[in-house]
Structure 1
């Protein structure tokens, strides 16, 4: 604050001294200096007093009258503009100072009848004042603001980054522990076969008079026969007749032994199944812990603060924002992991009223050339109260989407569910899930799949991780007859690359200007097994391309030998750029192939990709 007051005092005395600087009998620096400094809104009253004092002390009476009038006109225009628009642009102030001085110079005979200068000199003086005001305004803006900017605290990231990293390491360690425990059993170990034999002998042989002879003699074949009997049951599911005959040669209770062996083995096999299911659940938990560790580690690595490198850009942003009546109190530029810039600004307006955020967007573009857009859920207006706004680099593409649906005949609700999401990192995601069967049960299943995917993606998980975590949740749920397909198209709106993720889903089509491409999947739906197989394909899209996703019911009932080829012809024949009408016309064409019958739920999602102007 003391430094700012020192700067103000300097401008006061400089204002007095420039009243002694003349060019060819003119004092053009006076009005230019006044307009440039007065716009900074720093000690206006005192500054105006010292400037008028300098004119009275150092200028001839006629020149004092001329430039005092020019300054007065400039003062009135600036105040009126601030009253109407809450700010005054430098071009208006500079133009007023130049025009007022030029007019007074041309008609200067009112004040000095000895002045015989030509009108062209007055016009040139006005032009000079305009240009000088523009230069001085920028100089004094940085003169008053630069030191203050360095002292201001840039918006900080949330604390606790080190703690988050510690949590991430802990979760990753737990994940590795559970993964190490998760080893499926394919067969019984030798000691398990030994326990089976002991259990059979304990149940049957313990009451036999020949027990001691069979089990205590060194050359007794009974143990070999028991082992062979159990292995035959393991291999064939039932005792082998050959092994049963061998056992009868030395055991009078062969039938009871065989029956007990089958029971013991079935129990052991059931225990193995439960053990493997437990191992699957451990693997599921390991995957979820690993995903949580990934998210925590990602949160613990905030974007890199590059404000020092972009100091000039931030200064220009402040200058351009001020020209629009917006005061930038604090600012910072970050570089995210994907190389995109993120801009954080703390802003307000001077007086009552509001200014749209899009004016600040224009100021940023004018200052730096950056194309930015407000972060999702940011406010649309800037008021007197200071607010913090975050801006992201604007995307190259945008999408328009539509949907058309038909419910299976006789069903009340569709078993298909879908969603359209635009994520904060500049991705547009279309998701479609087809629940097995139809009706409310299939609808609830596919709805749960879509909701889980949406929540995981919004939380920042990758698509693969989101799919695996969602699949884990369905496996743990444990309803074996409920499965759902997953079809995801994730379009990067910055570069136009689209990645398709398919798990048991129907074909997806891309309509370009000259062709139609078909993407097919042949894997199992989610919820079948704890380790899901994800088919991933990437394509580069451009302006005017269409993405067409559909549920199984659309292709399966076309009643043609090659439904994908038929669908390509249908898509190529549709002549519209409206996604909603495109989807409806496609279903209308499908009904022609099915004779108007809707044998399964039908859902078509269409997204058009357009390049921003």
Structure 2
């Protein structure tokens, strides 16, 4: 916003150089600089400049109308020529320079004709072209040359913003020059405009270059225009370089002393500067980004780090809570529970007219409902009132549950199980210790990026006049970072090159800009390490015959760190007991991968806890795939899982074969790495699909022939093929199909 205010101020005063027999030679190149940078700037510049002319140079309004009409036509032709790739518009600098030459010749030699030497006119024309070329060169540096961003913009030293401040100094000096031709009463406007820009530049840059403006503006006013009050400009530059809440007080005290001493010619000028300083502080408070002192930056970094650590610990605590709740009952209890659920279904559900609708609607929620009914949970009616109202046979189901309990169907653990708790406790202590060691090692081995540079990247985007409405550094590790940015009124194609170049300099690695969402006119993006592959996937699940629910469960998770996770778990047995085992396993997997640690470490921790619950005789297989989209590497973790097939473009088939037992039996987690290639297709499945077929070679041939289909269609085809062909043992079936494609270089 402050940038637009500056542009309005510059346009308002720069147009007044026409009062100095300069015609539009200084105004025109700045006008073209602004509108070529952003066409929308026209809506600010044209009206403001026209108002300025009407107030201070009424006789020039016809000439100004000619100028803006000609410039608008030129811009339309230029835009059309660029879009249609006309060769004449291929060299922007030449085309714009020729236009500046023609307009200046028209205004200086024809209308309004100026009574000055031809050599002076030629000098004005040359100066006009040189000013535009200077502005264009620095605009190109700011918008296109991002190779030295870190050196020029992201290091906290006295050379920060060197290139950009030269451009701002030139525009501010031109505005001061235009203001010098106008006085209101006995107050020349140059000291006021110069004071404003001295405050702005000194507050913003705080280096020798901001003081340079004060010196040049003072020399222009005092020596060039004989305005004594211009001497205050350099003093203001020096005062405002000092960042303090007392700055405005120091300045106004100095001005008050000068006014009261009666040693100055124009007290009104200094009173006006006092008003300008107050207005500037108000605008700066709301519009200028705060420059934190170094101690504050480190304080903020510490608080952020502490917050992140606390969040990670809470996530780990949540994982532990789920584990305790999930495995608080022994295997025998769950088997009895599964049998009780089967009794309820056989006696009440199978003959119910609502059975199909009920099971489709509540496939995964029926287990906790029936469990709480069977255990006569005291909060059941409060938790499941909707189900009670829906089920016509609820009272019969409830009576059956009470009868099963009266028969001691759901007694607590027996004495032997209770005595075993001592051994379990010892195992838990050791297991938790090992798990925490793995967690700490993984979280402390990461190297953080320079947080100051990440924060200054936001300031740089603001300098380029991007309306950044949201900026969060979610993760800041080398090769594992995530910055979420919201930018208003921009298209992805417009800002992607800028963000790419900027954050590649900040992070010292290639990055990808990933679209997140668009709300109203704000586009939200994630900046992450460069992605080289894309993954399209589909999945399907089918329970075995005579079962209402599958003992298999699957997990598909697209991480915000560029990883994609796929998992299949098969609980031991069938029905609700098997479903519970596999569902709990994948919920634990989902919880632990939220910790933002390496999947290998996460699964090692999870396996450690399953080793602990080995005393409870609870088992589930786990087939886990982690695809790193940054390097195209796939890591397969198999714990009692089925073989995974990778179908290649050349029709070869690679296999990732399981060599370990289910979770919690082996202390080591079996893993295999595989480098993915363009066109690879991965088939993950539970043992109900591939292992139970009599002839797997025929299935491989069938899948190879269907490789060109969409992933979801391939899932359907595999399930249908398995059902129709001979199977050794009927079992639950789950299939995940993934297709890999490499990203094209932009």
- Report the TM-score when normalising by structure 1: 0.59
Q: 1:126 to 1:593 in 2, by over 3 A?
A: farther
Q: 1:510 to 1:298 in 2, by over 3 A?
A: same
403-412 or 135-144: bigger deviation: 135-144
Please tell me whether the aligned partners of residues 98 and 129 of structure 1 are also in contact (alpha carbons under 8 angstroms): no
Residue in structure 2 matched with residue 438 of structure 1 by the alignment: 574
Please tell me whether the aligned partners of residues 582 and 606 of structure 1 are also in contact (alpha carbons under 8 angstroms): yes
Q: 1:581 to 1:334 in 2, by over 3 A?
A: closer
Residue in structure 1 matched with residue 737 of structure 2 by the alignment: 606
Q: 1:136 to 1:495 in 2, by over 3 A?
A: closer
In structure 1, C-alpha distance between the alignment counterparts of 2:714 and 2:480, rounded to whole Å: 34
Q: 1:297 to 1:142 in 2, by over 3 A?
A: farther
Please tell me whether the aligned partners of residues 554 and 569 of structure 2 are also in contact (alpha carbons under 8 angstroms): yes
Please tell me whether the aligned partners of residues 482 and 560 of structure 2 are also in contact (alpha carbons under 8 angstroms): no
Q: 1:480 to 1:522 in 2, by over 3 A?
A: farther
Where do 1:83-102 residues align within 5 Å?
102=102
Q: Does 1:304 align with 2:457?
A: no
In structure 1, C-alpha distance between the alignment counterparts of 2:513 and 2:69, rounded to whole Å: 41
In structure 1, C-alpha distance between the alignment counterparts of 2:311 and 2:714, rounded to whole Å: 49
Q: Does 1:555 align with 2:706?
A: no
TM-fit CA distance, 1:570: 3.9
Aligned match for 1:411, one of 533, 536, 547: 547
TM-fit CA distance, 1:535: 0.7
TM-fit CA distance, 1:159: 0.8
Residues 530-563 of structure 1, C-alpha deviation per residue, up to 9 Å, x if partnerless? x633111000002111111111122332124xx4
Residue in structure 2 matched with residue 70 of structure 1 by the alignment: 67
TM-fit CA distance, 1:436: 0.9
Q: Does 1:283 align with 2:430?
A: yes
Residue in structure 2 matched with residue 546 of structure 1 by the alignment: 681
TM-fit CA distance, 1:394: 4.7
Q: Which has the larger radius of gyration?
A: 1
Q: 1:339 to 1:149 in 2, by over 3 A?
A: farther
Q: Does 1:507 align with 2:638?
A: no
Q: 1:8 to 1:296 in 2, by over 3 A?
A: same
Please tell me whether the aligned partners of residues 21 and 114 of structure 2 are also in contact (alpha carbons under 8 angstroms): no
Q: 1:591 to 1:159 in 2, by over 3 A?
A: same
Q: 1:457 to 1:164 in 2, by over 3 A?
A: closer
TM-fit CA distance, 1:314: 6.3
Q: 1:286 to 1:331 in 2, by over 3 A?
A: closer
Residues 115-157 of structure 1, C-alpha deviation per residue, up to 9 Å, x if partnerless? 9x9xxx9x99999997676457666895279863786448955
Residue in structure 2 matched with residue 493 of structure 1 by the alignment: 629
In structure 2, C-alpha distance between the alignment counterparts of 1:401 and 1:3, rounded to whole Å: 46
Aligned match for 1:29, one of 23, 26, 29: 26
Please tell me whether the aligned partners of residues 73 and 96 of structure 1 are also in contact (alpha carbons under 8 angstroms): no
Residue in structure 1 matched with residue 620 of structure 2 by the alignment: 484
TM-fit CA distance, 1:446: 0.3
In structure 2, C-alpha distance between the alignment counterparts of 1:463 and 1:3, rounded to whole Å: 46
SS at match of 2:499: helix
TM-fit CA distance, 1:585: 2.1
User: Please, which runs of 5 or more residues in structure 2 have no aligned partner?
Assistant: 76-90, 143-163, 170-199, 207-288, 317-415, 505-509
Aligned match for 1:582, one of 711, 714, 736: 714
In structure 2, C-alpha distance between the alignment counterparts of 1:270 and 1:8, rounded to whole Å: 81
Q: Does 1:380 align with 2:377?
A: no
TM-fit CA distance, 1:402: 1.1
Where do 1:23-422 residues align within 5 Å?
28-36=25-33, 48=49, 52=53, 65-67=62-64, 69-71=66-68, 102=102, 111=111, 134-135=136-137, 143=168, 148=204, 152-153=290-291, 157=301, 159=303, 161=305, 277-291=424-438, 293-294=440-441, 297=444, 302-305=448-451, 307=453, 317-318=461-462, 322=465, 326-328=466-468, 336-339=476-479, 342-343=482-483, 349=488, 360-361=495-496, 363-365=498-500, 372-374=512-514, 380-381=518-519, 391-422=527-558
In structure 2, C-alpha distance between the alignment counterparts of 1:103 and 1:17, rounded to whole Å: 16
In structure 2, C-alpha distance between the alignment counterparts of 1:298 and 1:41, rounded to whole Å: 53
Please tell me whether the aligned partners of residues 295 and 460 of structure 1 are also in contact (alpha carbons under 8 angstroms): no
Q: 1:50 to 1:135 in 2, by over 3 A?
A: farther
TM-fit CA distance, 1:598: 6.8
TM-fit CA distance, 1:383: 5.7
Residues 281-304 of structure 1, C-alpha deviation per residue, up to 9 Å, x if partnerless? 2222213433554576579x7543
Residues 78-123 of structure 1, C-alpha deviation per residue, up to 9 Å, x if partnerless? 9xxxxxxxxxxxx99x9999869957967999847999x9xxx9x9
Higher helix share: 2
SS at match of 1:159: helix
Q: 1:543 to 1:346 in 2, by over 3 A?
A: closer
SS at match of 1:425: coil
Residues 362-381 of structure 1, C-alpha deviation per residue, up to 9 Å, x if partnerless? 65248778753358xx6523
In structure 2, C-alpha distance between the alignment counterparts of 1:336 and 1:359, rounded to whole Å: 25
TM-fit CA distance, 1:450: 0.8
Residues 421-449 of structure 1, C-alpha deviation per residue, up to 9 Å, x if partnerless? 11122101110101111111101110111
In structure 1, C-alpha distance between the alignment counterparts of 2:580 and 2:431, rounded to whole Å: 22
Please tell me whether the aligned partners of residues 12 and 47 of structure 1 are also in contact (alpha carbons under 8 angstroms): yes
Alignment RMSD: 5.6
TM-fit CA distance, 1:318: 4.2
In structure 2, C-alpha distance between the alignment counterparts of 1:104 and 1:291, rounded to whole Å: 73
TM-fit CA distance, 1:453: 0.4
Aligned match for 1:521, one of 658, 665, 684: 658
User: Please, which runs of 5 or more residues in structure 1 have no aligned partner?
Assistant: 79-90, 173-268
In structure 2, C-alpha distance between the alignment counterparts of 1:509 and 1:149, rounded to whole Å: 60
